[in-house]
Structure 1
Amino acid sequence: MPYQSNNDLPLPIRSHLPPHAQDIYREAFNHSYAAHRGDPRQEEIGHRTAWAAVKRSYVKQGDRWIARS
């Protein structure tokens, strides 16, 4: 299901990603979710797409996500 705000994101995402990365995740997920309407893997594709979008702008160092320079 699409996420209206960052507060609606799953707890692991909210607790691990900084706010800007959460914005990226939410927007990418919502766009992908809408684009794959009717696909039985719609939600899985949305989450994979969202993580890929986050990883383009952030890198994980230890247990923290840091913006790429």
Structure 2
Amino acid sequence: MPYKTVSELPESVREHVPKHAQEIYKEAFNSAWDEYADSDERRGEESREEVAHKVAWAAVKKKYDKGSDGDWHAK
């Protein structure tokens, strides 16, 4: 289920992640969704969606850190 806009992202992303990081998340998720469509491309028993969310968070973590306030902030 690729995301067309950031407004479709999970609530946890929309409420705690800055707009720029939401764009990163969306693009990384959509790319991983396409890349890992074939279950042979995924490790273990994770679903396509689980893998795409992990990839998206990894992309966000390259430029943002989670603060003690629960929100994400630019490094």
4+ runs deviating over 2 angstroms: none
- Helix, strand or coil for the counterpart of 1:4? coil
Match for 1:41: what amino acid?
S
- Tell me if 1:31 matches 2:31: yes
Deviation at 1:65, TM superposition (A): 1.1
Aligned-residue CA RMSD in angstroms?
Answer: 1.1
User: 5+ residue gaps in structure 1?
Assistant: none
TM-score, normalising length from structure 2? 0.85
After TM superposition, the score normalised by the length of structure 1 is: 0.92
What residue identity is the alignment partner of 1:37?
A
User: Is 1:55 the equivalent of 2:61?
Assistant: yes
Shift of residue 17, structure 1, vs aligned partner: 0.4
Percent identity of the aligned residues? 44
Q: Across the two proteins, how many residue pairs are aligned to each other?
A: 68
The gaps in structure 2 that reach 5 residues or longer are 40-45
